[in-house]
Amino acid sequence: MSIVRSPQGYFLSTLLANETWLSHAFGTAAAAPPHVYLVLNQVHSNVVLLAGECGPDSEGDGLITNEAGLFVAAKSADCVPLLLADPVHHVVAAVHAGWRGSLANIAGAAVERMTKEFDVRPSDLVAALGPSIGPCCFEVGPEVAVLFRDVFSERNDLDRRTTIDLWETNRRHLRQAGLLPERIDTPPPCTCCGGKEFYSWRRDHIQGQRMFAAIGRLPNH
């Protein structure tokens, strides 16, 4: 399992690509997903909405749908885009997990909402993390690092300037929510040191530059 570049330039999860009833893509600075998609006004929360609940001003950081032909998306430029799919009930979700959302366990909140609304079993879910800032580049001060003590209880360096692994944070939350480790596709490329193929707020500090990760159930599936 891995995150690979498609011939069109966007990235795909090999795990999600095995699910023939859906389509997905992790866009880059040069290659957007080949879909028309719904995206929220993202606010770095752990709020997860159903697509049918959304209006033009809806705020949140996770979107779920089981509607065929409707694609949901998350936008990012270092934050973790997370795509989830249930092969049994054909439910999909797109999640935006910045450090605040990751810390607030938005991954777990998405799994919980999928379970509640569509009777999804977490062990059936497939998940993939898209291009985002890696532990190689996400250096934070002690005021942020110390907040991750519950996630990384084994670490003794969170009282000082250090690096935080948002990929592992979300992977642990998905595992705690009931996903099987072999059904979580990670690690993705790092947006910060991966070059101009990716937008990176940490590297470039340019407002308005975002990549989109989209997923949806195909028509007639």
Q: Which domain holds residue 100?
A: 3-132+178-217
Question: Which residues fall within 8 angstroms of residue 55, CB to CB, at 6 or more apart?
Answer: none
Q: Which residues contact 119 (CB under 8 A, 6 or more apart)?
A: 89
Q: What is the pLDDT of residues 39-97, one digit of tens each?
A: 999 999 999 999 999 988 999 999 999 999 999 999 999 999 999 999 999 999 999 99
Residue 162 lies in a domain: no
158 contact partners, CB below 8 Å, separation of at least 6: 142, 145, 146, 148, 149, 152
- Assess if residue 151 is contained within a domain: no
- Asked, for residue 155, whether it belongs to a domain, the answer is no
Q: Would 145 be classed as within a structural domain?
A: no
Kindly report the CATH number assigned to the domain that includes residue 62: 3.60.140.10
Q: Which helix H or strand E contains 217, and what residues bound it?
A: strand 211-217
Stretch 194-205: mean pLDDT: 96
Question: pLDDT tens-digit profile of 17-27?
Answer: 999 999 999 99
Which residue, 200, 55, 183, is CA-closest to 134? 200
Residue 184 has pLDDT above 70, yes or no: yes
pLDDT grade, residue 1 (50/70/90)?
A: low
pLDDT at 85: 98
Report if residue 139 sits inside a domain. Answer: no
Q: Say how many domains are in the chain.
A: 1
pLDDT at 221 over 90: no
95 — phi, psi (to 5°)? -130, 140
Query: What's the mean pLDDT in 136-143?
Result: 98
Asked whether residue 66 is assigned to any structural domain, the reply reads yes
| Residue 182 maps to a domain | yes
Is there a domain that residue 99 lies in?
A: yes
Q: Could you give the CA distance from residue 193 to residue 162 in angstroms, rounded to a whole number?
A: 17
Cis peptide before 135 (omega within 30 of 0): no
Give the pLDDT of residue 220. 87
